[in-house]
Amino acid sequence: MAGGGELGGGQKQRRGKAGKRKAKKRLGFRLDMTPLVDITFLLLTFFMLTTSMITPQTMEMSVPPEIDTPIEVKQSELLTIRIRQDGMVFYNTGVDAPQRFAAPSRSKNGSADYKKTLAEIKKVVVDQNVALKNRCIVVLKADGEAPYGLVVQVLDELNSAESEIIDRLKREHGINERKRKFTVSPYVAKDAEELMGL
């Protein structure tokens, strides 16, 4: 492009017209592309620097509609995961005493790292679901003061546990369908009381 294009056509005709004068043969023409290239690079740099490639993702949530009649479930089929206001996560089955998941570690930049906690949550949820053969109900309760980011991370972990549960149910019990998932329910004063000092 910087070398320029050639004007090929039109030369023969001219030669025929102006027969007397010997036309100087045009070899080609040069167009200075420098400004064009400059501007192009400028724009390219601008767009490259301003575009953010990370598009936001979404996590779909379904909550049950408001109903007046409470549904009764067996205590033994209930796995409650509770997030305390300081970000500690606890779990218990039925009316058992709550047990604590691993505490978050501090990462280099000072923010809490829940990697270990989340891995433990997933393990417990999967094991319990498989042990109860599809009849387990996972309930997530989070304190209003707990960070929202942690709640979403736990929800994400529960979501990702699903595939493992389905897989293990199929392999170990031959169950092909998955019925119950998990629910989110409000964290009440009683929950706070139970987790106090643990």
Q: Would you give the binding string for another protein spanning residues 1-40, x where CB under 8 A is met? A: xxx-----------------------------x---x--x
Q: Other CB atoms closer than 10 Å to residue 7's CB: what's the count?
A: 11
Q: Would you give the binding string for another protein spanning residues 142-161, x where CB under 8 A is met? A: xxxxxxxxxxxx-xx--xx-
Residue of 83, 88, 89, 165 that binds another protein (CB under 8 A): 83
- Cα 190 to chain centroid distance, Å, stands at 33
Token reading at 164: 């493992």
Residue of 14, 15, 74, 115 that binds another protein (CB under 8 A): 115
Token reading at 106: 């501090």
Token reading at 125: 């949820």
Residue of 8, 32, 48, 190 that binds another protein (CB under 8 A): 48
Phi–psi pair at 108, nearest 5 degrees: -60, -40
Nearest Cα to Cα of residue 104 among 142, 150, 155: 150
Pick between residue 58 and residue 176 the one whose CB is nearest to another protein. 58
Distance CA 177, CA 162 (A): 12
Part of the chain binding another protein (CB under 8 A), chosen from 44-52, 73-81, 127-135, 170-178: 44-52
Pick between residue 131 and residue 152 the one whose CB is nearest to another protein. 152
Helix (H) or strand (E) holding 189: helix 189-195
CB of 131 vs another protein, minimal distance in Å = 24
Distance CA 131, CA 73 (A): 17
Using CB under 8 A, list all residues that contact another protein: 1-3, 33, 37, 40-41, 43-44, 47-48, 50-51, 54-66, 83, 115, 118-119, 142-153, 155-156, 159-160, 184, 186
